[in-house]
Amino acid sequence: MNSLHQTGGVEQAALTEAHAIQRLEASVQRLEQSERLQRALFAIVDMAASGLDMQNLLKGLHGIIAQLMYAENFYIALYDPQTETVRFIYFADVMDGQLYGPDQEFTAEQLRNTITLALIRNGQPRRGASDEVASSLGLDRSSAVGTPSVDFMGVPMRRDGQVMGLLTVQSYESGQGYTQSDQNVLAFVAEHVLNAVDRKLGQEALERRVADRTSELACANARLQEQVREGERAAHLQATLYRIAALGHSQDGNEAFYRNIHLAVGELLNAENFYIALVSDDEQRLDFPYYVDGAGARLIARPWGRGMSEYAIRQGQTVLMDGIGIRALMEGGEVDAATYGPEAVCWMGAPLLGSKGVMGVVVLQSYRRGLSYTEQDADLLTFVSYQIASTLQRRQQDAALQTLNAQLEQRVTERTRELREQITAREQTQRQLRHQVMHDPLTGLPNRVYLRDRLERALGNQQRDPGRRFALLYLDVDRFKLFNDGLGHLVGDDVLREVARRIADCVRAPDVVGRLSGDEFAILLEHCPQPSTACLVAQRIQAGMTQSVRVGDRALHVSVSIGIAMSHAGYRTVDQLLHDADTALYRAKEAGRQRFVLFDEKLHASAMNLLDLEQQMRAALETGQFVPYFQPIVRLPDAGVVGYESLIRWRHPERGVLGPGTFLRAAEETGLIEAIDWHLYGPAFQAARGFLGDDKVLNINISPRHFHSRNFPRRLLDLLDRAGIAARQLCVEVTEGTLLSNPDAVGKVLASLDEAGVQIALDDFGTGYSSLSHVHRFPLRTLKIDRSFIEPLGLGQQQRSSAIVSAVLSLARSLDLNVVAEGVETALQRDALQAMGCAHAQGFLFGRPAPADHWLLGN
């Protein structure tokens, strides 16, 4: 029995010890977390006190918070209760980039449907998925700005109980979420962040007050000087200072110079015991160039230590002390008794302030009990020390200048001889450099710098004489990238040299042919009164390119596209002229290459319209004007719907609903297409969920720009998952031009989507350069026959189209691919396709694109 009791006691003790260890570990974790938080707060305080500007301060605060939690996506919003406006003074987001600028100020009306304004008004922290947070705040997410996040956490920043802003972190990836502990930490840090921001905002006001105070002190000092000058002693002091200043230009030796300084000071103060100590250049030694001491003390150079002289230098201000004070310094360890000579009744030393700091000290001391110095004497010595320091610096500078002059005189003779030898070589080098700077090393033609200089002169001549018109031809070698990528850069260089030679053969002096960069050339026709002259030169150049270029054993056919800009009085800068010629060149290449285009007002208006359209599209993004429409894809035998294609529409506030043909090309050119697509994908998935069911497929179009992002598949699948749509019910459509743009990058993205179960469709099949090669290279599941092959089927011109469609259907059946015929608008086209065995189609015959509500009601 005793044994059992003992065993039970041991187990109970072990259990108690285990609980104690767990409590200790939990306590350690809490202490570690508290220590991290404490370090973060110290770092915030230190950063607020630093000299960083506002944006670098905020970036540093971002880094500090990122040490406490996941904060890759982070922003700080400041709220002004008086004006009810919000500024996003810091915004970092991997998805939305710089959505808000730090200087932009938004009204409550502009932010009325945003989580930011809602949290500021609510005044309570929130966390969770952004859509869930928005719903809990009663917000409508259909017109939300920005990308929805997987996890969101926002904490108000308060001052005296009033909300003054918001601190927010968010995550777009699953597994990177936030806990209640994170929320508590962020809420605790928020007040310190607000204090740091307030402190930085108040810095300018403080600096202004300091400047005002400095001005006041300067005025007070001026008044003090005026009072000193009014007294007899002030007049004597001024005369002494002039004497000391004059010593800086004297040619006396050091002994005489310092003795005269001593005599000058002695006229103002009792200087029977006087010395000057100077800090060596390396600040490791103290030198005594002059001293007079009635007690017979000898002052020699010594290593930097803890003497009275060093003490005054360290203080940086005049020191006045009696014997008791000196002994107190010794007892406190400030002064080493070993470096102190005879005990003085009174010791007074003023630091010599130079441009680089304290350069030394001037000292007066008394060994007689009847002689002591006063605070007024200390002020006077301080004033005199400024002039002594200035004189010493001037004398040192003069000595250094004399040394330099002597060295310079010695070197002048040597250098003159060297320069004479170098002048000839330099002139030759300058001629070579001038040619190299102004000419292209590959072709030998003038370069962009030379051409811009000639264009500047031509513009100046025309402004002086409006009748002297000229023309600028901007040339580009068609498909030059194929030569470089396919045959190598050496072959490309040979092609450029030959092209340059042929272009130069087509003009005569004083016209200039230049290479701007890569495969771009330009021609300045100095005297070109009529556009027809420039057009004739362009025709002559294109004719000169008809003969093949021989490179090794290859015969390459080269062509050029040309843009022409004629000078007129409206041109003020070379950049305007180059821009218009480049615009004309772009139109020439767009029209099919191997041609020339003359820039006119129509092209100018087109370029301006593009800029205006870009601004309107940016405004449309901010206000949610882009919306998804849907068009059904049907089975031909029974017209049953198998899926829908999501198509973009722009609900323009003035022009009504616009189709993609009016703006999509401009969106691609300006780079806005990515933001527009991401703005559209989420709403399209959410809307389509209501009518897709479990068996229908949603088709979306993918811009080529998305294939530059490795994160595109993951981001798209996350949106799909949040909408509750299976990956197998999504089909992405890509064009053949997209596949050609960067096959390797496109292949990786498509493979990732295919692996996730997403279907891939090749849109506008048959219109590209190598349609059959795409079928084998990429993981395609569907071919969409371009409408250009479908349209003739209903017009009695179907023989050629029927052959092409039949060939596509045969190819698809052999490769087990689906086929969808696009643009089916008539029953004749439908019957013809059905007779050839086409199973699926899409077009106005089965349904026009319409909003999601239309198809929801139809179901």
Looking at per-residue confidence, does 314 or 406 come out higher? 314
Task: Sheet containing 73-80: give its strands across.
Answer: 106-107, 85-92, 73-80, 162-171, 151-159, 126-128
Which tokens hold the place of 465? 């004489």
At 770 the pLDDT is: 45
- pLDDT of res. 140: 81
In the numeric block, which tokens belong to residue 206? Answer: 């403080």
Rounded CA gap, 806 and 810, in Å?
A: 6
For the chain, how big is the Rg over CA atoms in Å? Answer: 42
Instruction: Give the start-end residues of each E strand in 519-620.
Output: 520-525, 549-551, 554-556, 560-566, 596-598
pLDDT tens digit sequence for 166-220 = 999 999 888 888 888 888 888 888 888 888 888 887 776 677 788 888 888 888 8
The string of pLDDT tens digits covering residues 108-128 is 888 888 888 888 889 899 999
Long-range contacts (CB closer than 8 Å, 24 or more residues apart) made by 665-673 = 666/610, 666/613, 666/614, 666/617, 667/617, 668/703, 668/704, 668/705, 669/610, 670/610, 670/614, 670/617, 671/705, 672/614, 672/617, 672/618, 672/621, 673/703, 673/705
Reported residue count of the chain is 859
Tokens standing for residue 55: 């944006």
Chain mean pLDDT for the chain: 84
Summarize pLDDT for 695-717 with one digit per residue, the tens: 899 999 988 888 888 889 999 99
- The 3-class secondary structure across 734-766, one letter per residue, is EEHHHHHHCHHHHHHHHHHHHHHCCEEEEEEEC
| pLDDT bracket for residue 25 (50, 70, 90) | low
Residue the block writes with tokens 């007779």: 835
Q: Where are the beta strands (DSSP E) in 690-744?
A: 697-701, 730-735
**pLDDT for the residue numbered 767:** 62
Q: In b/e form, how buried is each residue of 715-748, taking b as 16+ CB within 10 angstroms?
A: bbbbbbeebebebebbbbbbbbebbeeeeeebee
Q: Which of 561-570, 582-591, 598-607, 760-769 has the lowest mean pLDDT?
A: 598-607
Burial class (CB in 10 A: 0-12, 13-18, 19+), 339: middle
Q: How confident is the model at residue 383 (pLDDT cuts 50, 70, 90)?
A: confident
Q: Give residue 763's pLDDT band: very low, low, confident or very high (50, 70, 90).
A: confident
Q: Which residues contact 193 (CB under 8 A, 6 or more apart)?
A: 44, 61, 65, 76, 157, 167
Other Cβ atoms within 10 Å of 618 Cβ, number: 13
> Higher pLDDT residue, 594 or 694?
694
Residue 90 pLDDT > 60: yes
Query: Higher pLDDT residue, 178 or 600?
Result: 178
- 754: closest CA among 777, 787, 772, 773? 777
CB atoms under 10 Å from CB of 166, counted, come to 24
Cβ contact 555:549 at 8 Å: yes
- Residue 276 is predicted with a pLDDT of 92
Distance between CA atoms of residues 167 and 195, nearest Å: 13
Q: What does the pLDDT read at residue 656?
A: 87
Determine which of 61-65, 718-722, 732-736, 762-766 has the lowest per-residue pLDDT on average. 762-766
CA distances from 781 to 636, 685, 758, 814 (A): 19, 21, 10, 13
Cα–Cα distance for residue pair 42/38, rounded to 1 Å: 6
**772 φ/ψ sector (left φ>0, alpha ψ -120 to 50, else beta):** alpha
Residue with tokens 């103060």, as numbered in its chain: 269
Say whether pLDDT at 848 is over 90: yes
- Is the backbone peptide bond immediately before 156 cis, with ω within 30 degrees of 0? no
